[in-house]
A and B are shown apart, each in its own frame.
Chain A
Amino acid sequence: MVKFTLNDRDYEVEDGKTILEVALENGVKIPTLCYHKDLTSYGACRLCMVEIIDGARPGLQASCTYKVSDGLVVKTDTERVKKTRDIVFELLLARCPDSEKLTKLAEEYGITKSRIEWKDKGKCILCGLCVRACAEVSQRNAINFAFRGIERQVNTPFKRISQICIGCGACAYVCPTGAIEIEEAD
């Protein structure tokens, strides 16, 4: 068992849990996009950042990948957390202004508009939930990330129609922004 402090409250939990898992189990609100309880944590969207006040790596850390340990002191609502989170929301909204799920989540945290505009609008925020669902749940590995930086995208190998996709829809189900659509074949 591990004893630690989250938002001034003491917790005693099993070894190996992440800060996010404990928070969610205890009704502490932390926004996430690239996290799903049944998939491996990936730490990409950076919305779930929390502040480690006392611990091995003080400062902002992604709660979905940071494991709790004895004596750890964590806060989820410091000014540092809120301010950086607001800007991460703005960056995501600039990229995907048409995603209802993203807009709704941002609104819950008080962000209704981004100061930034970006020409390449779409719905995919590259969280990789679809990639992990395909690999870990459907076990098909039909899709993965391709290219890097600004060109990064989720795609099939060589962008060819996949021979191994079974059309299970797990990717579309898990997508937090509604970027994947499923069409019925004739």
Chain B
Amino acid sequence: MAKLKSVKEFEKLHKQLTGKKNPKKPSIAVCAGTGCVALGATGVVDAFKKEIKRMKLSEKVELLITGCHGFCERGVVVLLRPEGILYQRVKPADVPEILEKTILNNEIIERLLYEDTVTGKKIVHEKDIPFYKHQDRLIFGSNNQINPTSIDDYISIGGYSALARVLSDMKPEAVVDVINKSGLRGRGGGGFPTGKKWEYCRRAEGDIKYVIINADEGDPGAYMDRSILEGNPHSVLEGLIIGAYAVESTEGYIYVRQEYPLALEHFTTALDAARKYGFLGKNILGSGMNFDVKIARGGGAFVCGESTALMASIEGRVGEPRAKHFHTVERGLHESPTVLNNVETWANVPVIINKGWEWFSEIGTDRSKGTKIFSLVGKVNNTGLVEVPMGTTLRQIIFDIGGGIQNNKKFKAVQTGGPSGGVVPESLLDLPVDFERLTEAGSMMGSGGMIVMDENNCMVDVAKYFVDFLKDESCGKCTPCREGLIQMSEILKDITEGNGKEGDLELLEELSWVMTETSLCALGASAAFPFLSTLRYFRDEYEVHIKEKRCPAHVCKALITYTINAKKCTGCTLCALKCPQDAISGEKKALHEIDQSKCIKCGICVDACKFDAVIVD
């Protein structure tokens, strides 16, 4: 691997690497993102390696260990090219059969195919599976084509050609102009126009300027940034280098959270490889540009995803926000002009440079351009990462791509935007998802978390979960956020435990208002949103908890009791056998009874009973 001294040398390498590829050669792409690794991908990869060697197939077939393909519900996912066959829930034991039947004899293994949740039909090709069919994977699509630890793989699919183009053909101002015109907005939460941010930083005065990747993804249930870094780290790095060129920065950082070891490993490998090729360092591709990137690791604090707290943390100070009377684009890291963008935002940059701002701005809605990756989790059939054009409706995402609600339960709400967001109820399922529409609905885009909830989710409990999360994660600097969250948490705890009283909702609303109005940073200012949005759409549920001391979704343990229906109980004894508290007694073939003083309301008896005899109320 020699250092590339000019754009010409890069183009030569690009041609050479593309030429090496034989599109007809069978390849096996095994997803080894964190989700699939948890489901046993390492064992599947080892089995493929062993069997390919044993069957002497290494010349005939290529094994590709990739990052996340997005279809986490069905992991371990294996994609066979050139046909595009997708096998799901693959176990190491399936590997010899895949090689023998499908690779050598073009036979499909029915058992490993995806079965449509609606029609019950088996689907052979990835492109025909509804989960993939309705997506538009601009950013995430390369994940299943490359080995994330190989820079050559990235270059062979067009990687670093945007950087080469920028360095040879474009002035920094022109790069800012393209990003401005594309309409790209920050994917980390705020949705600030990226081009504007760059423009302000370019204009700001400073001896040194910084560019930073915010990889402190902390929203519960969200993992798209992790999966981009794990699966395609060079795309983020290339975006960052282009950004550095645009604002004339010489030093960059990635701030990556403690909990992302694989992302860190792959990004570190990417940095080393980029230095060897000369995409980082002095005189990049002979252009005269000098730039390098340092790694800063978070310590596990959610608040460090906030721009000023993040910069304080890099500087080695306590990770807490400061008043933003001057912007970080003017005075950010070490008091110097700084551009901080989220992982997904940076990954959009090379795509826009390659395909043009005109093309990019055609995708999406009026004010929200391009695609957005969502992590679709909760009570939905196809959990995973989905990338759709802005403006796709919630119904399309949850039902067409997500395959609807698990166990045919009724959809109740979807939580978007993480702890700063809110819930969107069934009546708004046809809402096109973009920055403005979600805010109007009392929620927000945030970084793209989407937690689907069904009739068995209690909205008071949901609000309490997020308030408790924020209570622990607030930096504690300003009074309204710190003390307000403590009090909100206490009141919500009372309500879920049957100690709610008249006036609680009004006090919660007052506290929410003060937190929103007077908190120091955006995290505090939005901390009450999960409560406010659940109250807006599900006020009746709060009132039933307070006035009738009932939890309609049967979640709040203090408000429910388990009893046995005398008409339905056959005296099979199964519930008594399974009860971990020995709270159920009764003779064989006679009515059983639950001792309320012993019952911990775990629900095991409900699942155990085959006659629906256990009543929860």
A residues at B contact (CB < 8 Å): 43-47, 49, 57, 59-60, 62, 65-67, 80, 84, 87-88, 91-92, 94-95, 115-116, 118, 125-126, 128, 144-145, 147-152
Contact = CB atoms under 8 A, between A and B. Distances in A.
A7 to B, nearest CB: 19
Given A46-B520, A116-B487, A148 B479 contact: no
Interface of B: 301, 303, 318, 320, 322-323, 325, 471-480, 482-487, 490, 507, 510-511, 513-514, 517-520
Contacts, number: 99
A91 B318 contact: no
A88 B479 contact: yes
Contacts of A126: 476-477, 482
23 contacts: A45-B478, A46-B479, A46-B518, A49-B518, A59-B517, A60-B518, A62-B323, A80-B517, A87-B514, A88-B480, A88-B518, A91-B480, A91-B484, A91-B487, A115-B507, A116-B487, A145-B476, A147-B476, A148-B320, A148-B473, A148-B476, A149-B471, A151-B476
A94 B514 CA distance: 15
Nearest to A144: B318
A66 B325 contact: yes
A118 B520 contact: no
A149 B325 contact: no
B182 to A, nearest CB: 27
Contacts of B485: 149-150
Contacts of B483: 91-92, 94-95
A84 B514 contact: yes
Contacts of B513: 84
Contacts of A66: 323, 325
A59 B518 CA distance: 9
A121 to B, nearest CB: 12
B475 A148 contact: yes
B520 A44 contact: yes
A92 B478 contact: no
Contacts of B510: 87
Most buried by B among A59, A126, A150: A150
A49 B519 CA distance: 10
A150 B487 contact: no
B349 to A, nearest CB: 29
B483 to A, nearest CB: 4
Given A87-B514, A91-B479, A92-B479, A67 B303 contact: no
A45 to B, nearest CB: 5
A95 B301 CA distance: 24
Given A46-B480, A152-B475, 9 more contacts: A46-B478, A66-B325, A84-B517, A91-B483, A118-B486, A126-B477, A126-B482, A148-B472, A150-B471
Given A46-B518, A87-B511, A87-B514, A125 B472 contact: no
A170 to B, nearest CB: 20
B487 A84 contact: no
3 A-B pairs with the lowest CB-CB distances in the bound complex, closest first: A152-B476, A91-B483, A65-B323
B517 A60 contact: yes
A150 B479 contact: no
A70 B520 CA distance: 24
Contacts of A80: 517
Contact of B482 (A59, A65, A128, A152): A152
